[in-house]
Homo-oligomer: A and B are copies of this chain.
Amino acid sequence: MKIGIVGLGLMGASFAKGFPQYHVIGYDQQPAVMKQAFDDGVIREQASSIESLIDQSDWILVCLYPLATKEFFITHKDRFKPGQIISDIAGVKALFEDLVPNDGVDYIFIHPIAGRAKIGYQNHDVTMFKGANCIITTAPFNQASNLAIVEGLLKELGFGNVSRMTMKEHDQRIAYTSQLTHAIAVGLMNSAKDLAFAPIIGDSYRDLTRIARINEVMWSELFVLNQEALTAELDDFIHQMVTLRNALSQSNQTELEEILKRSRIKREQLP
């Protein structure tokens, strides 16, 4: 099996490195990155062009930002060949809802719930997939055998739970579990008036702001692409914070205890 990986940044290079048993062809718009990946043994072959990568690959994994990924699908639609599976790793899927492959080609959209705070090829790290959750969004055109192939490849990489759901459900759930979470970390970090508090932080502050070191270009794109669902989640969360704030300002310790207890019980139920 030949795997073509487009984009050798943090994610693309991590995927490439995870498939040493396959012939991985890599492409990156920066020739120096592509050469480095080849020299490091992360890919077996440098693609001479995107077209050459497309023509040779059984599975094409596009590891670009969401809008660039969609552009890739549109630009190369008529170059894809029957039997090929084309996948992406974008964190939102609504933008792909109008994409339908030509006969015999399959698009299988995946979202690895894994990442690292630092971006770029040099930070690639295949261990990020170990035991991580992953989502495959399903479309009416998907062939069951292709879904099984992609799921198998993801399991080979070490992913734990691979869930299947529609694109719409994906975007709604991700708005809460991932996007709201990142927005909150940003809000907490931006609430800091100065950094004089650094010597007194604990694990809780460190944990909540780890992802405040955010890739602003990619995440602002993801946020806007999932505007409706994320706005609704932000509104719900802000409402929770205002409720807590008001109980506090009224010194209503009974209500505060209720709010905190609800949180504790929910968290204890999470596996």
Could you tell me which A residues sit within 8 Å of B by CB distance? 113-115, 132-133, 135, 161, 163, 173-174, 176-178, 180-192, 195-205, 207-217, 219-221, 223-224, 227, 230-231, 233-238, 240-242, 244-245, 248-249, 251, 253, 256-264, 266-271
Contacts and interface: CB of A to CB of B under 8 A. Distances in A.
A177 B205 contact: yes
Given A197-B176, A223-B256, A241 B249 contact: no
A70 B203 CA distance: 27
Given A174-B200, A181-B204, A190-B262, 13 more contacts: A176-B197, A177-B200, A181-B208, A185-B204, A186-B263, A189-B263, A191-B237, A195-B269, A214-B264, A216-B264, A221-B253, A224-B253, A224-B256
A184 B241 contact: yes
A230 B248 CA distance: 8
A181 B186 contact: no
Contacts of A200: 113, 133, 135, 161, 163, 173-174, 177
Contact of A183 (B185, B227, B230, B244): B244
Contact of A163 (B176, B190, B199): B199
Count copies of this chain in the complex. Answer: 2
B177 A201 contact: yes
Q: 8 smallest A-B Cβ distances: which pairs?
A: A216-B260, A113-B202, A220-B256, A187-B240, A186-B263, A207-B207, A213-B267, A212-B267
Given A202-B132, A207-B211, A260-B220, A266 B178 contact: no
Contacts of A258: 216
Contacts of A234: 241, 244-245, 248
B191 A176 contact: yes
A72 to B, nearest CB: 20
Given A231-B248, A238-B238, A192 B176 contact: yes
A199 B221 CA distance: 25
Contacts of A198: 270-271
